[in-house]
Amino acid sequence: MKVFLVHFLLSLTAVTYSSTHVCGLKGASVVLPCTYQYSYGDTYLGGEWYEEKSGRVIKHSHSNYPDCSLNIDTLSDGDSGVYQFRFYTVLHLKWMTSKPGITLSVTDLQVWAPLDTVKEGDKVTHTCNTTCTLSNDPTFIWYKNGQPVTYKHTTRDNKLHLNPASSEDTGNYSCAVKKYESLSSTAVSLNVRSIKMGTMLFVLVRGVMALLTVAASVAVTVAFVRSKRSKETNVQSVGTVSDTYMPLQRRTQSSVYETLQGRETPQTEMKMKDLS
């Protein structure tokens, strides 16, 4: 009978986790929910939280029995892991626990946007992403240039909808979780182009392209004309040298002939006298 009573009492000793997966925001606090119980007449001797991977041990206070929840403040990546609560009593001197325990994941906030530049009238949706689903169904808050814009636009869950987007929506967007507004995400920029500006830019680009085309055509034409004139000048120069050389040669020969013809030598004069 005593053995049966002991087993019955031990069967009342247990650890219960209301959630086996908890996701916490980096820098915030989180609660790992837990309750435990032991039989009436037994005596609690001690308990602790134990993290498997790091071997970390966190002492537990019996003052809040049967609550054994663990509060962790200022979460960091190093707090990620699997936590188990265990305790022992007079009737059960070995650790009493319940597996697999609670898996704690730590995440930060990141804004995702499909495009960084859109035009007026487009539909834009920003998403506040996390690497795990935050516990306790948090409320997301959106900021543009550091100022809240949640009241101005439609928000649903972790999304911000700009529909339609206007040029006034241009700015840097970030998100946060209510009660932890100081732990906001890194801002992501959005540029909403005005339709008028887009049209003017298109016309300007086309005008510049047309001017460049005309300038290229003029340059080709000028180069062609210069090349043609250069060839014509070379041909004329060769003809002028030939024509000038021939007359000069004739004049030189004629002058010599005339000089010889008009000039009388002494021998010629003597012969003329003898004949006379």
How many whole angstroms separate alpha carbon 142 and alpha carbon 154?
10
40-44, 123-127, 215-219 — most confident range = 123-127
CATH entry 2.60.40.1930 includes domain 2-106: no
Q: Does 2-106 match 110-193 in CATH topology? A: yes
Distance CA 37, CA 14 (A): 6
Contact at 8 Å (CB) between 185 and 109? yes
The overall average pLDDT reported for the chain is 79
Numbers of helices and strands, H then E, in the chain:
3, 19
Write the pLDDT tens digit of every residue in 128-180. Answer: 999 999 988 899 999 999 999 876 766 778 999 998 899 999 999 999 999 99
Nearest to 178 by CA among 127, 136, 144: 136
Of the listed ranges 36-50, 82-96, 102-116, 214-228, the least confidently predicted one is 214-228
Residue 4 confidence (pLDDT): 35
Domain extents in the chain? 2-106, 110-193, 207-249
Running DSSP on this structure, what letter comes out for residue 186?
Answer: B
CB-neighbour burial class of residue 225 (10 A; exposed 0-12, middle 13-18, buried 19+): exposed
For the cut 60, the answer to whether the pLDDT of residue 65 exceeds it is yes
**pLDDT value for 234:** 56
Where does the pLDDT of residue 220 fall: very low under 50, low under 70, confident under 90, or very high at 90 and above?
confident
Domain 110-193, CATH among 2.60.40.10, 3.40.50.970, 2.60.120.460, 1.10.3720.10: 2.60.40.10
Task: Tell me the C-alpha distance between 116 and 124, whole Å.
Answer: 10
Find the mean pLDDT for residues 209-228.
71
Structure tokens at 65: 């029995």
CB 184 within 8 A of CB 175: yes
Enter the pTM of the model: 0.64
Please tell me which of 154-158, 204-208, 221-225 the model is most confident about, judged by mean pLDDT. 154-158
Q: How many CA atoms lie within 13 A of 64 on its CB side?
A: 11
